Structure 1
Amino acid sequence: MSLTDTTIALLQNLIQNGCVNYLTADSGQETKNADTLEAFFAGTDVRVERYEPHPGRVSIAFTVEGTDPSAEPLTLLGHTDVVPVDEDKWTHDPFGGEIVDGRVFGRGATDMLYITAAMAACVRDVARGERPRGTLTFVGCADEEARGGLGAAWLADHADFSWANCLSEEGGSHLPAADGSDALVVVVGEKGAGQRRLTVHGDAGHGSAPFGRDMAVAKIAEVARRVAAIEPDLRSDDIWEGYVRAWKFDPDTEAALLAGSGYDAFGQLESYSHAMSHLTISPTVLRAGGAINVLPSVAWMELDIRPLPGQTQEEIDALLRDALGEIADDVEITHLITEDGSVSPTSGPLYDAILSTFNEFFPDVPVVPTIAAGGSDLRFARRKGGVGYGFALHGRGETLGSVLGELHSHDESAAVEDVDLTVRAYRSLIRRFVGA
């Protein structure tokens, strides 16, 4: 069986295990995918380490020791959990792993089980041959979809593998440049988290007599209106400017985008491109009351806020208070999950290996560094002093927009062509970087 066929079969098994993360401690049950991966590596000369910080929430690492302790190590971080599904919205079995019209369907097919399967297949292939010069590790991480508290965040403090050079999701899709030329995306960083809960208080009372009452619901509605009206400033840097120029727009469009307007020029990537260049604030949860005949005395809303690398939590609070104006003193601001954004350099041995690998498959195509709007396990590598990049490879027809559109979608799928390209690209990069 070819390496690609092996990867597709493993991908189907991982999908079928249905390790759904409902953002609760007892969900996920990634032990099923850990068991599948451990069976997959059976009979190979790898060091296997299982980590279980909570029952059923298993991450598993497979390490092929290098022959040269001074050689650069490489760690591949693939997560094994997936997000929930609305089954009635799917036309394919979300946990079937069916192949239809050249695509593998199933929850997690794109996010990120096709990459996880490719990583595992390539590391097993190395383990069956001569030892590499540098140490190579593949990790099936639990709990990535809940920001890694029972996965990579825990592993960063307890696991015994290198974080110096890491690869994970997502990269290698194409930018649809305005002149029809090609460009490849590599993810070099990601936004952080600045989650907030905004709470207001009012008068309790009977719903039949609202006159003269200080209404918490009315107050939180005004808070929501003011927050929704916030328009953070453009944050321009070399990555943003390089991204805009890679599209090869006409001079007027390019100038407008560099100044922070005209995002509709990006088409399907309008929202992503805006998020890549701005702090974003999304009101996502609103709560007040419990009985229809009782005036609630408290109401709150929660905000999914994503800062860019370099933007601080203090800046976020100042922005919120400025928007709230004269009612700011009546609003309690509570920090929920807060994490700084992170970015790796567009230079160095691993980055150069990525460029060389892309050039092998798509000769002379420019590579465009980008910042992910969401999170990944790579931020933990960066916090520990390592570098981390999103790496995969897609066919020419798979744009950054089409790949992002698959994430968490109904009928999520990955193209068989992309599975093949990704496994071959990983095998090539591994050979290039650790001498396997």
Structure 2
Amino acid sequence: MTLFDDSLTLLQTLVRNACVNDLTPDSGQEVRNADSLEEFFSAEIAAGRDSGAVTVQRLEPRPGRTSIIVTVPGSDPDAEPLTFLGHTDVVPVDAAHWTRDPFGAQIEGSGADARIYGRGTIDMLGLTAPMAVVTREVAREALAGRPPRGTLTFVGVADEEARGGLGAKWLSAEHPEVLDWRNCISETGGSHLPVADGSDAVVVTVGEKGAAQRRLHVTGEPGHGSQPWGRDLTIARIAEVARRIAAIVPAVSQDPLWSGFVTAFRFSPEIQDALVTAPEEDDYLAFTDLARYAHAVSHLTVSPTVLSAGKAINVLPSSAYLELDIRTLPGQTDEDVDAELRRALGDLADEVEFERLICEPAEVSPVDSALYEAVAKTVGEFFPDAAVVPVLSAGGTDLRFARRLGGVGYGFALNARERSLAVINAELHSHDEHLYLEDLRLTVEAYRSLVARFVG
């Protein structure tokens, strides 16, 4: 069996375990994937039990919400460690819109067109499986008397899809000592950019936007629905709040990550200058399929997502609220967000109560670290002519917990040239989610190369 064969077999098992996280505390049941991963490592764990060459730990803050940590200690305590941070939960599916069994791990096609269908194949079981496979390979070498120079750790972590409250967030707060957070690899990265002149560029995710969720409350005059005349209608007020919020146009990012992303496309000087300084909405069309992503990573984004008012059709409600999914750029604070909202609301601002929900700052790792250099060299090994472009994720990953503990973290896998960043983004949480087997092969080979390069 090759590393690719092992990765594919393990991926099918993880998909079929259907560890669906619907954001409720007892969903997920990642214990099924933890059991499968422990079985995958069972021979190495047993052989290393007395020598300590391979160790395993399982932790769960709630029954069934299990994370598993497999460690291969390094021979040099001063060498840099490496941690693969893979999550084992997946998001729910709308089965009526799938044309394949979401948890069947069905393989279709052949050659470069071969692909595996199933929830989590892209996000992120298709990365978690090769992470485990490479770690087991290193564990076997350690048991044969050839340990890595630096410690290698694999983590199959629970609850990433619910922002890590029962997974990486809990581990980092309650048991930070069970794994080394200094150098972490997780999702996603490794896809390609459609550069204007036809040259190649591969992205590495170095950070992610923050969260500044808000619930905006308004009040009005209650009464019977049959007599609305002359009343201060709560529904009308919350509707106007929503309209003004939806019209927000924040300033474009001044972060080097944005200007570097624009430069990587090699647009004309006029388009590049407009995008970096003061882009109009239509300017983003230059990114074609990446326009929505480009807009998201270049601005504070404010998305009205939940509206609640009233319970009975014949009663004028006295209160209503609007929930906002707000994603911040590096350096933006909660105070900056509230100021932006107040500007948008204008004369209504004093009539709206702001409630802060989940608030987390944007997190970014530097591009001058030893791990980033090793990742860039690994990309160059497989795509020698490609530029390596650091990018910001519009969503969230478990890497933010490593960064908060002083470590660096990068989203890295590897995709074939045909798989652009837009193609990979479109697969995230999609119907008929699927992974090309060529990308699985590239990823496991890239991880093996990165491990050899970074921990020896």
What is the TM-score when the length of structure 2 is the normalising length? Answer: 0.94
Equivalent residue in structure 2 for 1:425, among 424, 430, 446: 446
Cα distance between partner residues in 1 of 2:365 and 2:318:
47
Aligned to 2:135: 123
Amino acid across the alignment from 2:328: P
Contact kept? 2:205, 2:390, Cα under 8 Å: yes
Aligned to 1:5: 5
Q: 3-state SS of the aligned residue for 1:128?
A: helix
Ranges in structure 1 where 5+ consecutive residues have no aligned partner: none
Quote the offset at 1:158 in angstroms: 2.6
Cα distance between partner residues in 2 of 1:289 and 1:313:
29
- Whether 1:157 and 2:173 are equivalent positions in the alignment is yes
Aligned to 1:229: 247
Equivalent residue in structure 2 for 1:76, among 68, 84, 106: 84
Q: Write out aligned runs for 1:329-348 (5 A).
A: 329-348=350-369
Q: 3-state SS of the aligned residue for 1:323?
A: helix
Quote the offset at 1:364 in angstroms: 3.1
Aligned to 2:24: 24
Aligned to 2:51: none
Aligned to 2:307: 286
Cα distance between partner residues in 2 of 1:311 and 1:237:
11
Q: 3-state SS of the aligned residue for 2:326?
A: strand
Cα distance between partner residues in 1 of 2:64 and 2:343:
45
Quote the offset at 1:202 in angstroms: 1.2
Q: Deviations over 1:104-163 (max 9, x none)?
A: 111111001100001000001110112111111000111111110111000102331110
Aligned to 1:401: 422
Quote the offset at 1:211 in angstroms: 1.2
Structure 1 range deviating more: 237-246 or 223-232: 237-246
Contact kept? 2:200, 2:385, Cα under 8 Å: no
Q: CA RMSD in A?
A: 0.8
Quote the offset at 1:62 in angstroms: 0.4
Aligned to 1:303: 324
Q: 3-state SS of the aligned residue for 1:286?
A: strand
Q: 3-state SS of the aligned residue for 1:236?
A: coil
Cα distance between partner residues in 1 of 2:89 and 2:196:
37
- Whether 1:322 and 2:330 are equivalent positions in the alignment is no
- Whether 1:146 and 2:154 are equivalent positions in the alignment is no
Quote the offset at 1:233 in angstroms: 0.4
Cα distance between partner residues in 2 of 1:331 and 1:418:
49
Equivalent residue in structure 2 for 1:176, among 191, 194, 204: 194
Aligned to 2:268: 250
Aligned length: 435
Q: 3-state SS of the aligned residue for 2:153?
A: strand
Aligned to 1:111: 123
Cα distance between partner residues in 1 of 2:259 and 2:349:
35
Q: 3-state SS of the aligned residue for 1:179?
A: coil
Identity percentage of aligned residues: 61
Aligned to 1:86: 94
Q: Deviations over 1:289-327 (max 9, x none)?
A: 111111111111100000011110100001111111111
Cα distance between partner residues in 2 of 1:237 and 1:317:
21
Cα distance between partner residues in 2 of 1:356 and 1:96:
36
Structure 1 range deviating more: 414-423 or 254-263: 254-263
Cα distance between partner residues in 1 of 2:259 and 2:224:
57
- Whether 1:381 and 2:397 are equivalent positions in the alignment is no
Q: 3-state SS of the aligned residue for 2:123?
A: helix
Q: 3-state SS of the aligned residue for 2:5?
A: helix
Ranges in structure 2 where 5+ consecutive residues have no aligned partner: 49-53
Q: 3-state SS of the aligned residue for 2:61?
A: coil
Quote the offset at 1:212 in angstroms: 1.8
Structure 1 range deviating more: 229-238 or 411-420: 229-238
Cα distance between partner residues in 2 of 1:172 and 1:319:
34
Structure 1 range deviating more: 367-376 or 125-134: 125-134
Aligned to 1:39: 39
Amino acid across the alignment from 1:60: I
Contact kept? 2:306, 2:323, Cα under 8 Å: yes
Cα distance between partner residues in 2 of 1:320 and 1:269:
27
Cα distance between partner residues in 2 of 1:192 and 1:260:
22
Q: 3-state SS of the aligned residue for 1:111?
A: coil
Cα distance between partner residues in 1 of 2:17 and 2:233:
48
Aligned to 2:387: 366
Amino acid across the alignment from 2:40: F
- Whether 1:260 and 2:278 are equivalent positions in the alignment is yes
Structure 1 range deviating more: 250-259 or 227-236: 250-259
Cα distance between partner residues in 1 of 2:329 and 2:276:
17
Cα distance between partner residues in 2 of 1:131 and 1:232:
51
Cα distance between partner residues in 1 of 2:420 and 2:335:
36
Equivalent residue in structure 1 for 2:108, among 100, 120, 143: 100
Cα distance between partner residues in 1 of 2:242 and 2:404:
34
- Whether 1:206 and 2:253 are equivalent positions in the alignment is no
Cα distance between partner residues in 2 of 1:113 and 1:200:
43
Aligned to 1:194: 212
Contact kept? 2:102, 2:119, Cα under 8 Å: yes
Cα distance between partner residues in 1 of 2:202 and 2:277:
24
Amino acid across the alignment from 1:133: R
Cα distance between partner residues in 1 of 2:278 and 2:118:
37
Cα distance between partner residues in 1 of 2:186 and 2:91:
17
Quote the offset at 1:276 in angstroms: 0.9
Aligned to 1:351: 372
Quote the offset at 1:260 in angstroms: 3.4
